[in-house]
Amino acid sequence: MRFIRDIHAERHAENKPCISFEFFPPKTAEGDKALLEKHIPALMELKPDYCSVTYGAGGSTKEKTADIVESVQNQHQLTTMMHLTCVEATRSELEGVVADAKNRGVKNVLALRGDPPGGGEFRVAEGGFEFSYQLVEMLKEQGDLSIGTAGFPEGHIHCTEGKYVDWERLANKVRCGADFVITQLFFDNADYFEFVDHLRDKHGITVPIVPGVLPIISAGLIKRFTQLCGAKLPDPLVEQLEACANDDEVKEFGIEFATKQLKELIDRGAPGVHFYTLNKAYSTTKIMQNLGLA
Ligand X SMILES: Cc1cc2nc3c(=O)[nH]c(=O)nc-3n(C[C@H](O)[C@H](O)[C@H](O)COP(=O)(O)OP(=O)(O)OC[C@H]3O[C@@H](n4cnc5c(N)ncnc54)[C@H](O)[C@@H]3O)c2cc1C
- How far, in Å, CA of 175 to CA of 118, rounded? 32
Examine residue 198 and tell whether it contacts ligand X (CB under 6 A): no
Candidate residues 27, 33, 158, 223; the one interacting with ligand X per rule CB under 6 A = 158
Give the helix/strand (H/E) hosting 98: helix 91-103
207 binding ligand X? (CB under 6 A): no
Q: Which is nearer to ligand X, 128 or 254 (CB)?
A: 128
Our CB check for ligand X shows the closer of 159 and 244 to be 159
Q: How far is the CB of 256 from ligand X (least distance, A)?
A: 24
**For ligand X, which residue of 73, 80, 184, 261 counts as binding (CB under 6 A)?**
184
Name residue 133's amino acid: Y
Residue placing its CB nearer to ligand X in the complex, 159 or 291: 159
Q: How far is the CB of 164 from ligand X (least distance, A)?
A: 10
Establish if 83 lies at the interface with ligand X (CB under 6 A).
yes
The burial of 66, by beta-carbon neighbours within 10 Å (0-12 exposed, 13-18 middle, 19 or more buried), is given as buried
CA atoms of 46 and 44, how far apart (whole Å): 5
- Taking contact as CB under 6 A, which single stretch among the options 28-36, 54-62, 215-223, 243-251 is the one that binds ligand X? 54-62
- Is 37 catalytic? The answer is no
Query: Among residues 112, 138, 176, 241, which is the contact residue for ligand X, using CB under 6 A?
Result: 112
Tell me the residue ranges of DSSP E strands in the chain. 18-23, 50-53, 80-85, 108-112, 146-151, 180-183, 209-210, 212-213, 272-276
Residues 6+ apart with CB under 8 A from 229: 157, 184, 185
Dihedral of alpha carbons 134, 8, 71, 284, sign? positive
Binding status of residue 114 toward ligand X by CB under 6 A: yes
Contact status, residue 87 vs residue 58, Cβ threshold 8 Å:
yes
282 binds ligand X (CB under 6 A): no
Q: Which one of 9, 36, 159, 233 is in contact with ligand X (CB under 6 A)?
A: 159
Selecting among 10, 14, 22, 141, the annotated active-site residue is 22
Under the binding rule (CB under 6 A), the answer on residue 286 touching ligand X is no
Is there a contact between 261 and 187 (Cβ–Cβ < 8 Å)? yes
Q: CB under 6 A: which stretch of 1-9, 109-117, 233-241, 278-286 binds ligand X?
A: 109-117
Degrees (nearest 5) of the Cα angle 19, 148, 270? 40
Task: Just list the catalytic residues.
Answer: 22
Using CB under 6 A, list all residues that contact ligand X. Answer: 54-55, 57, 83, 85, 110, 112-115, 131-133, 150, 156, 158-159, 166, 169, 173, 182, 184, 212
